[in-house]
């Protein structure tokens, strides 16, 4: 059943007008403001729904959706692919040895795999990828896939504290290409990363997503696969209350996706 569903979703293609968010005429959804207000959040959300019976591209706060922010840990999605493509990590089973340094989050203080490092957003793992790939390599990879401003400079880690910036619209474009294995990277890298991105799954849907937090901006990006097509989403919000605001990322996205019948209640 699962293999059949994955095969069907891999074969689904979008209409030409829905192939990238930049080409879409995003339809404003001012009613989504009520959801942001409910959670006392300021931010933006972009949704591109490619399901056969409900196609559409929607945005709340169009200006902010086109504004670039630090991607924070959402950069782990392309970063993991770069590491696989470059041969830094072989597969999702390879053990990445812990360096022995105690960190504030206990799940980080142990050996990791690609899957666990994505699930627990283990920064030190991706810093080892950065060291192996090098600054020039990081820039070349980002330019190759047209990721944000492709700038790996600044305070470390550059995807949190440095100069790398990406918009919600650009996140959607990147995710659409990844979903269809259309990035100029190895097919193996794309398939492996999509596998470790799985958050949840039901009988006829799969949620692949990644959170991110720069300290001031919180992200949740990804897509929900259905037999009739995928529903892509990218949200970012301000987090003035810092960690107390982090639950709002998933809460807002889930409520909006549930209103579109893209996720079960």
Task: For the chain, give every domain's residue range.
Answer: 2-259
**Residue of 57, 73, 117, 214 marked active site:** 73
The pLDDT, as a whole number, for residue 123 is 97
The answer for residues whose C-beta is within 8 angstroms of residue 215's C-beta and 6 or more apart is: 160, 239, 242
pLDDT in tens, 101-131: 999 999 999 999 999 999 999 999 999 999 9
Mean pLDDT across the chain: 92
Percentage of the chain beyond pLDDT 70 is 91
Q: Between β-strands 198-201 and 229-238, what pairing exists: parallel, antiparallel or unpaired? A: unpaired
The pLDDT, as a whole number, for residue 53 is 82
Calpha distance 233→223 (Å, rounded): 6
Find out whether 47 and 60 touch, Cβ atoms under 8 Å. Answer: no
The answer for residues whose C-beta is within 8 angstroms of residue 46's C-beta and 6 or more apart is: 21, 26, 57, 58, 59, 65, 168, 169, 171, 172, 232, 233, 234, 235
Tell me which CATH code domain 2-259 carries. 3.40.710.10
Q: What share of the chain is helix, strand, coil (3-state, %, to 5)?
A: 45, 20, 40
- The model's confidence at residue 1, banded by pLDDT at 50, 70 and 90, is very low
Dihedral sign, CA of 50, 173, 60, 208?
positive
Calpha distance 32→70 (Å, rounded): 24
Find out whether 60 and 44 touch, Cβ atoms under 8 Å. Answer: yes
pLDDT at 23 over 90: no
pTM of the model: 0.89
The answer for residues whose C-beta is within 8 angstroms of residue 37's C-beta and 6 or more apart is: none
- Residue 73 catalytic? yes
Q: Pseudo-torsion of CA 231, 234, 240, 246, nearest 10°? A: 50
Report the half-sphere exposure of 193 (CA within 13 A, side-chain side): 29
Lowest mean pLDDT among 22-31, 89-98, 120-129, 173-182: 22-31
Q: Between β-strands 198-201 and 27-28, what pairing exists: parallel, antiparallel or unpaired? A: unpaired
The pLDDT, as a whole number, for residue 265 is 86
């Amino acid at each position: 059943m699962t293999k059949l569903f994955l095969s069907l979703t891999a074969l689904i293609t979008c209409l030409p007008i829905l192939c990238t968010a930049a080409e879409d005429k995003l339809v404003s959804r001012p009613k989504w403001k009520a959801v942001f207000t409910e959670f006392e959040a300021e931010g933006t959300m972009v949704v591109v729904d490619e399901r056969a019976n409900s196609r559409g591209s929607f945005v709340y706060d169009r200006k902010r959706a086109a504004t670039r922010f630090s991607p924070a840990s959402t950069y782990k999605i392309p970063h993991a692919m770069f590491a696989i493509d470059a041969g830094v990590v072989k597969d999702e089973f390879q053990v990445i040895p812990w360096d022995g340094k105690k960190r504030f989050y206990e799940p980080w203080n142990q050996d990791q795999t690609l899957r666990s490092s994505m699930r627990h957003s283990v920064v030190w793992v991706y810093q080892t990828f950065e060291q192996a790939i090098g600054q020039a390599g990081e820039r070349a990879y980002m330019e190759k896939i047209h990721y944000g401003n492709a700038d790996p400079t600044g305070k470390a880690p550059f995807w949190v504290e440095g100069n790398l910036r990406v918009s919600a619209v650009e996140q959607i474009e990147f995710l659409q290409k990844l979903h269809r294995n259309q990035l100029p990277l190895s097919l193996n890298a794309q398939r492996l990363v999509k596998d470790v991105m799985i958050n949840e799954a039901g009988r006829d849907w799969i949620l692949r997503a990644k959170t991110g937090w720069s300290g001031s901006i919180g992200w949740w990006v990804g897509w929900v696969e259905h037999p009739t097509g995928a529903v892509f989403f990218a949200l970012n919000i301000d987090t003035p209350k810092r960690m107390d605001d982090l639950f709002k990322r998933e809460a807002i996205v889930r409520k909006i996706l549930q209103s579109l019948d893209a996720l079960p209640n």
